[in-house]
Copies of this chain bind each other. A is one copy, B any other.
Amino acid sequence: MQNYLHSNIPLSGAMGVQVKVATPVQVLLSAPLAPNINHHQTVFGGSGVVLATLAAWTLLHLRLDLERLDAQLVIQRSSMEYERPIAGDFEAECRFADETAWRRFRLMFERHGRARMTLRAHLLYAAREMGSFVGDFVALAQRGS
| 0 or 1 for each of A32-62: is its CB under 8 Å from B? (1 = yes) | 0011111110001111011001100000000
Which chain B residues lie closer than 8 Å to A35 at the CB level? Answer: 10-11, 14
Copy number of this protein in the oligomer?
Answer: 2
A118 at the interface (CB under 8 A from B): no
Complex Cα–Cα for A11 and B110 (A)? 39
Interface SS majority for chain A? mixed
Instruction: Count A interface residues, CB 8 Å.
Output: 32
The complex places the Cα of A38 from the Cα of B14 at a distance, in Å, of 13
Contact of A77 among B8, B10, B75, B79 (CB under 8 A): B79
Query: Nearest chain-B residue to A61 (Cβ)?
Result: B39
Is A81's CB within 8 Å of the partner chain B?
yes
Nearest B residue (CB) for A7: B39
Contacts of A34 in B (CB 8 A): 10
Query: Once the chains are docked, how many angstroms separate the CA of A127 from the CA of B119?
Result: 32
Given contacts A8-B39, A77-B81, contact A49 B47 (CB under 8 A): no
